[in-house]
Structure 1
């Protein structure tokens, strides 16, 4: 028995040592000699202009990168110049998303954090709300030391809205990414099939039904097999013509300025009838409820012939492989009410919060705030989204900015991630400055902006990315786990078995019995708080 107990004890001891070693590496600025000096020597700090401090100061900055991306972004020339110009040296603590969940738990349990946390993938809303004492309220720092961010919030008020926590204070800094579209995924169809069958691009759900039926029955890929899949996925995209435009996938919509839980609305009910009609006639993939992303991708890129007729995508070239040339993006499909709806955001799919936090461990928050504010200029932001001027971006004589071509064998997106913070970290590009950014209209970000013109005018205002209190975060998982599971189960039943009218009242009653009113109240309260921010 003694021998049996040795391994667990040894394992626990090893974990403790590993945790202790990690915490030493991530420790806040209290143990940093330069920072302690800066905290005392206030004469070294400049409230305006550069450098930020006369004598060098080091900040520990923690960020998390996807998989094995590593820290190549730190070689971005703008970041290198920032250290030289500000006198603020950065000790980067770059973690991998692969093992961050365990490391995060240890870090939060310890209460000993680095000076700055960068990137919204590092800590979630609930991580922050449930550990507010670890993070500094930023309102006064923004007002006194961050003129760039303050101006950005005045120009784009939603940046302040998404950053304001339930107690009315700002604990994390937001971002507005450059050159982002208003629309999310848009309808994509096999134009080669349409032309072969003599069909026009569908504009209404009735015309789409006719096209999907022809795709199934008339062998448009010409291989003599009945292998065509008219439509392939279950998603909110296929019921968006019914006004179900749920960007944040939380089953909420904004209708006439009010928060609405749409899985019990008449529009959703009609959408279920539409999906059931398609399923019953074999126009939806027969493996609709059993396939995973890998299986779907294999069908998109079927080696012998294209087999998918219609889908919703960001850009066609991203999924269809060698068949990409056959597919085109088309305008949104009009619904039964004659209107078109596109999932997205009228102010652009560019805003996020939790991109930079200054921790309570930091002894020099004024320095950290002034350092962070340098990221909120237009030129800083584009260099931290794509890469440095002179490396990735060419600044032209007419004050426009052109993205250079990536090295041979490297995709543009991979190059941007290698050279910059990309989606993560504080940024602000003003709408007027975006007009100076020249993108390739045939690929990547530039292509999406071109395609966006097809659907951007039909984008509906989504239920926003609201913030919840610690009490609400405690109650939400219990409610959403049961309610969301039931909604998804019943959607599959509605699609595959029908009888929607006959079972609808019982479905709604069951949701009410599960506490739907509590869930809607939590979401509505959060929405009211969001809109109350001035």
Structure 2
């Protein structure tokens, strides 16, 4: 009998250990009341009230209300809707949020008014990207309008501390030039995000004309000529558009056509090489790329509307029932009635990613962008009377599972989750019936999804897998030559705004003029460079370099 009792006790102890281990891998629930051990030797701050729980959930015993101002995306329903994910977080925390949910179009105006007048919410939260600009942070942080979160993070935020430890760039992006943290970031460590501008070539036309995927700039021009003259869509009309893009557009532009000439031009027109900030539009590679584009435009190989059509016109023109685009720029996994994939997909796709072209001297490279680590997503104001509670609330948003659902949508609508905690996406055969990301969750809120979480806890949707497959077309040719998301001092911010207001429109309009054949780039180049310098380019680069150097110093700590 005694042996049976001892065996039963041992079994119960083993079972309790197993259950505790399983609970550690799940997101906090409304019934969880765990505690966190700490190695912080500093004296604990005085809590707001006896209603507050420093560890475990709920955060408060009796419900409190906080007032947040947030920008709203186009697909989102009201944050107060019972189906919206914030309601689930309220169940866990026992904190009700009164939302001032402002449409994106009027966000900056209303946000600036709140900051200027002192009519403040308890916190600003970016639901559709950044809530606060770097200028906001460096202006209103030192004034005390926005609170320094540095010590509060150490005291109340284990998830945020872990994020800072796992990815030092998240801490750097969150740190202002005065060394203080006034805001928290959005982070998504998805490798495919690095390649934002891709080119797609018409595989159907290549096969019909007996052509291979071009590998060099010369071969590319020859392919475009055949697309223009040999009626590959077979309708007997000269309606083929060999190459189209949207000039000066981040995702749909022509930046990839600068890389064969050694230029890493991009929307910011800045790159970094060997620790030195480079302004691409005054480099020799940039000049040669513009000359090459101009030569194709002169032959009628480039859509004459690249300087005037908007995104809707661009898509409508390229997605008609009759194929008209030979090559187009974008970041897409579908293109109207046409399928999009990679060379490896073979005949399963109408358009495939075009690998980086080799230039005249054999250069083969591709530009990338800073990873999706964006600051300014959450800030606490001086009006807040429940600061510890607020910090614990926002820390929950950085819990791995809550982060994933905040970015992609709640389980049951956008996502499914199996018994071992693997997330998958709900998909339908009819695209019109597919769940819409950003309807019941903000999509770009303060949150953190690590690369490890994507690799071990997520089964990619069809579109995400296609996106990654495309990314691998370019991945071997990219390097960390992008300007990271640096922070500027107030003086630098003001100077940069003045300088770029003159410089950027000038270089964009001059590039368009040269591509369109209006002017002689060789004859005008020296005067163009001199004009840009007279507008204060050297000072602009000096500010960029100083901010970059500070960023790299923080990375060493």
Same fold at TM > 0.5: yes
Partner residue, 1:70: 77
1:440–1:447 Cα contact (<8 Å) kept: no
Deviation at 1:417, TM superposition (A): 1.0
C-alpha contact (below 8 Å) 2:146/2:182 kept by paired residues? yes
Distance of aligned partners of 1:41 and 1:530 in 2 relative to their CA distance in 1, 3 Å threshold = closer
Deviation at residue 80 of structure 1 after TM alignment: 2.9
Three-state SS of the structure 2 residue aligned to 1:95 is strand
C-alpha distance in 2 between matches for 1:240 and 1:93:
45
CA RMSD for the aligned pairs? Answer: 2.4
Structure 1 residue 385: deviation in Å?
1.3
More helix by share: 1
- Indicate yes or no: 2:391 matched with 1:369: yes
Matches within 5 A, 1:132-531: 132=141, 133=143, 134-177=145-188, 179=190, 181=192, 182-233=194-245, 234=247, 235-246=254-265, 249-303=267-321, 305-317=322-334, 319-322=335-338, 325-345=349-369, 349-405=371-427, 410=432, 412=434, 415-423=436-444, 425-440=445-460, 442-443=462-463, 445-461=464-480, 462-497=482-517, 499-531=520-552
Separation of aligned partners in 2, 1:409 and 1:278 = 37
Structure 1: any 5+ residue segments left out of the alignment? Answer: 1-38
So what's the TM-score if we normalise by structure 1?
Answer: 0.85
How many Å separate the matches in 2 of 1:288 and 1:427? 37
Cα displacement string for residues 418-463 of structure 1 (whole angstroms, at most 9, x for unaligned residues)? 121112x1111222221134445532x3321222122123223211
Query: Matches of 1:403 and 1:212 in 2, distance apart?
Result: 39
Go from structure 1 to structure 2 and tell me whether the alpha carbon gap of 1:85 and 1:72 turns closer, same or farther (over 3 Å shift). Answer: closer
Deviation at 1:500, TM superposition (A): 2.4
The answer (yes or no) to whether the contact 2:163–2:448 under 8 Å persists in 1 is yes
Could you tell me which residue of structure 2 aligns to residue 48 of structure 1?
Answer: 55
SS across alignment from 2:61: coil
Q: Is the 8 A contact 1:68 1:96 kept in 2?
A: no
Q: Bigger shift: 54-63 or 514-523?
A: 54-63
Looking at structure 1, the residues matched to 336 and 125 of structure 2 have their Cα atoms a distance apart, in angstroms, of: 35
Instruction: Report the TM-score when normalising by structure 2.
Output: 0.82
CA distance in 1, matches of 2:79, 2:67: 17
Closer, same or farther in 2 for the Cα pair 1:281/1:381, shift >3 Å? same
- For the Cα contact (< 8 Å) 1:115–1:362, is it kept in 2? yes
Contact kept, 8 Å, 1:316 with 1:327, in 2: the verdict is no
| 1:389-416 CA distance string (max 9 Å, x none) | 344322223432111226966464x622
Inter-partner Cα distance in structure 1 for 2:83 and 2:374: 23
Equivalent in 90, 108, 124 of residue 133 of structure 2: 124
- Give, in whole Å, the separation in 1 of the partners of 2:75 and 2:202: 36
Distance 1:222 1:148 in 2: 59
Q: Distance in 1 between matches of 2:437 and 2:186?
A: 17
- Give me the whole-angstrom Cα distance separating, in 2, the residues matched to 1:420 and 1:410: 19
* DSSP 3-state at the match of 1:94: strand
Q: Distance in 2 between matches of 1:343 and 1:441?
A: 26
Gap runs ≥5 in structure 2:
1-45, 248-253, 341-348
Q: After superposition, give the CA deviation of every residue in 1:74-97 in whole Å (9 maximum; x if it has no partner).
A: 545753342232222221221112
Q: Distance in 2 between matches of 1:359 and 1:112?
A: 10
Are 1:175 and 1:352, in contact at CA under 8 Å, matched by a contact in 2? Answer: yes
Aligned residues: 488
Give deviations 1:212-255, integer Å, cap 9, x for gaps: 111112111111222211111233232233343355x2111011
Return closer, same or farther for 1:73/1:393 CA change in 2, 3 Å cut-off.
farther
Which residue is equivalent to 1:20? none
Q: Partner of 1:420: helix, strand, or coil? A: coil
Given that 1:76 and 1:420 are in contact with CA atoms closer than 8 Å, whether structure 2 keeps it comes out as: no
Distance 2:48 2:173 in 1: 35
1:371, CA displacement in angstroms? 0.8
For residues 473 and 434 of structure 1, the distance between their equivalents in structure 2, rounded to whole angstroms, comes to 35
